Amino acid sequence: MLHPYPSQLLGKAVDGFAALPGIGRKTAMRLVLHMLKQDRQSVMQFTEALTRLVQDVKRCAVCRGISDTEVCPICGNRLRDHTTVCVVENVQDVMAIEGTQQYRGTYHVLGGSISPMDGVGPADLEIETLVQRVQTGGIQEVIFALSPTMEGDTTAFYIFRRLGTLPVKITMIARGIAQNDELQYTDEVTLGRSIIGRQPFTGK
Amino acid sequence: MLHPYPSQLLGKAVDGFAALPGIGRKTAMRLVLHMLKQDRQSVMQFTEALTRLVQDVKRCAVCRGISDTEVCPICGNRLRDHTTVCVVENVQDVMAIEGTQQYRGTYHVLGGSISPMDGVGPADLEIETLVQRVQTGGIQEVIFALSPTMEGDTTAFYIFRRLGTLPVKITMIARGIAQNDELQYTDEVTLGRSIIGRQPFTGK
């Protein structure tokens, strides 16, 4: 059990860290004491980075992802394929897909997925902005790269219905067994999908 | 693999969190995105708490612990027993002992323990200030509440030697089997010490 702090300044800083997800009071205390050991300037740089972030960061006018500028570097890059839009839940997914270096199109960041349990409905997500992008024309393919969960599937199905009449190809990223997975330990749904979605073996 | 961030502001904030001990880049990203979802004011409160902490926090003039004031609330409390000083490594240890509600004396916070491997020598710790406190008089007992490790033992022995000629009783907190430990799984050193340090059974 941790007793009340000997310093209110310390207590408030610990409270701040402990309010973050996945950080308990003991970890928060450890982080704050680490900061006290650092030179003052590096702590100032840290707080300034956070302050500038929440004050100056924007949503990209096109993809609704996080951006420093009106239009993010990806949407503003003329060398990318602007006829293809990959729909993701959040900016981490953008970075994960960019990390594969297998995709040269653009993105649309929904900001989450439809989850009635968490009180998140279609209006809370960037779905209308996606529909508008497709309506404006020039987009030939919309790829769903959503979580393989009930929420992800619901979101994909909802957007699919909303885009229904528009002349655009709608695809989803492949589901199947992951690299280095062992078949015998793969769950039935995944294994079943990987058989249904089997692809030509090209020997490559 | 995480790709370069779509926003430099985001990247810098993530870098700041990832520089903290035990926080990797993915956790840092999650924390920063959580902050972006919060209202701006609570982030400002957080950064202000950190800024004020590093700017205004002091070391208590008496015990060298963290304090908002010249003398911390414990050292400034006339109701506590100022003839007894419990020597601890850090402020978390103070809070842990305060949490037991079994101690009414004061503390002395060393700021670590002697560890040649980590380049920490006696001069890096608040040992001279402790010796001065004892030399000044009025202290009857010094209790070592240091880690039961090589470093803690070395530190205790060093301070014991430094205090050697001064008229003060020197004790250490009891080592033995912990509450709810099972004897058969207790290590030999601990079990051995608990036998050597056996105490009268009072039936209480």
Within 8 A of B52 by CB-CB distance, chain A residues are 9, 12
Task: For residue A71, give both structure tokens.
Answer: 């239009």
DSSP of A96-141, one letter per residue? Answer: HHHHHT---EEEEE-SS--BGGGTB-GGGTTHHHHHHHHHHS---E
Q: How far is Cα A156 from Cα A164, in angstroms, rounded to an integer?
A: 12
Interchain CB contact of A16 with B (< 8 Å): yes
Other beta carbons less than 10 A from residue A64's beta carbon = 21
Q: Report pLDDT for A202.
A: 74
Report, as an integer, the average pLDDT of B113-130: 95
Residue, of A110 and B189, whose pLDDT is higher: A110
Residue, of A177 and B94, whose pLDDT is higher: B94
Residues 22-81 (B) with a CB less than 8 A from some CB of A:
22-23, 26-27, 29-36, 40, 42-57, 60, 65-68, 72-74
Within 8 A of A33 by CB-CB distance, chain B residues are 90-92
Strands B105-109 and B169-172, how do they pair? unpaired
Q: In this complex, do A9 and B56 lie within 8 Å of one another by their Cβ atoms?
A: yes
DSSP of B115-127, one letter per residue? Answer: BGGGTB-GGGTTH
- Given the structure tokens 């609704």, which residue do they identify? A64
Q: What angle do CA A91, A93, A98 make, to 5 degrees?
A: 95
Q: Report pLDDT for A73.
A: 93
Q: How far is Cα A164 from Cα A162, in angstroms, rounded to an integer?
A: 5
State the sign of the Cα–Cα–Cα–Cα dihedral B87, B90, B93, B95.
positive
Nearest-10 crossing angle of helices B8-18, A40-56: 140
Q: What is the pLDDT of residues B20-40, one digit of tens each?
A: 999 999 899 999 999 988 888
Is residue B2 predicted with pLDDT exceeding 80? no
Q: Report pLDDT for B187.
A: 86
| Lowest-pLDDT choice from A105-114, B108-117, B174-183 | B174-183
Q: How far is Cα B15 from Cα B32, in angstroms, rounded to an integer?
A: 10
Distance from CA of A29 to the nearest CA of B (A): 8
Is residue A3 predicted with pLDDT exceeding 60? no
Give the DSSP letter of residue B101: T
Q: Report pLDDT for B79.
A: 95
Tell me the ipTM for this assembly: 0.76
pLDDT interval class at A199 (50, 70, 90): confident
Is residue B113 predicted with pLDDT exceeding 90? yes
Within 8 A of A92 by CB-CB distance, chain B residues are 2, 26, 29-30, 33
Within 8 A of B12 by CB-CB distance, chain A residues are 49, 52-53
Q: What is the pLDDT of residues B44-90, one digit of tens each?
A: 999 999 999 999 999 999 999 999 999 999 999 999 999 999 999 99
Backbone φ, ψ for residue B66 (5° rounding)? -75, 140
Of A6, A26, A60, the CB nearest to B72: A6
In this prediction, what percent of chain A has a pLDDT beyond 70? 97
Residue, of B179 and B1, whose pLDDT is higher: B179
Counting Cβ atoms within 10 Å, is residue B162 exposed (0-12), middle (13-18) or buried (19+)? middle
Interchain CB contact of A118 with B (< 8 Å): no
Nearest-10 crossing angle of helices A25-37, B40-56: 50
Task: For residue A69, give both structure tokens.
Answer: 């500028």
Is residue B4 predicted with pLDDT exceeding 80? no
Backbone φ, ψ for residue A47 (5° rounding)? -65, -35
Is residue B91 predicted with pLDDT exceeding 60? yes
Is the whole-model pTM more than 0.80? no
Distance from CA of A40 to the nearest CA of B (A): 6
Q: Report pLDDT for B1.
A: 42
pLDDT interval class at A40 (50, 70, 90): confident
Is residue B3 predicted with pLDDT exceeding 60? no
Of A10, A54, A72, the CB nearest to B53: A10
Q: What is the pLDDT of residues A62-75, one digit of tens each?
A: 999 999 999 999 99
Tally of helices (H runs) and strands (E runs) in chain A: 7, 6
Report, as an integer, the average pLDDT of B132-138: 93
Element (H, E) at B171: strand B169-172
In this prediction, what percent of chain B has a pLDDT beyond 90? 68
Strands B105-109 and B66-67, how do they pair? unpaired
Give which of A113, A116, A103 is closest to A159, Cα–Cα: A113
Within 8 A of B67 by CB-CB distance, chain A residues are 6-7
Is residue A4 predicted with pLDDT exceeding 80? no
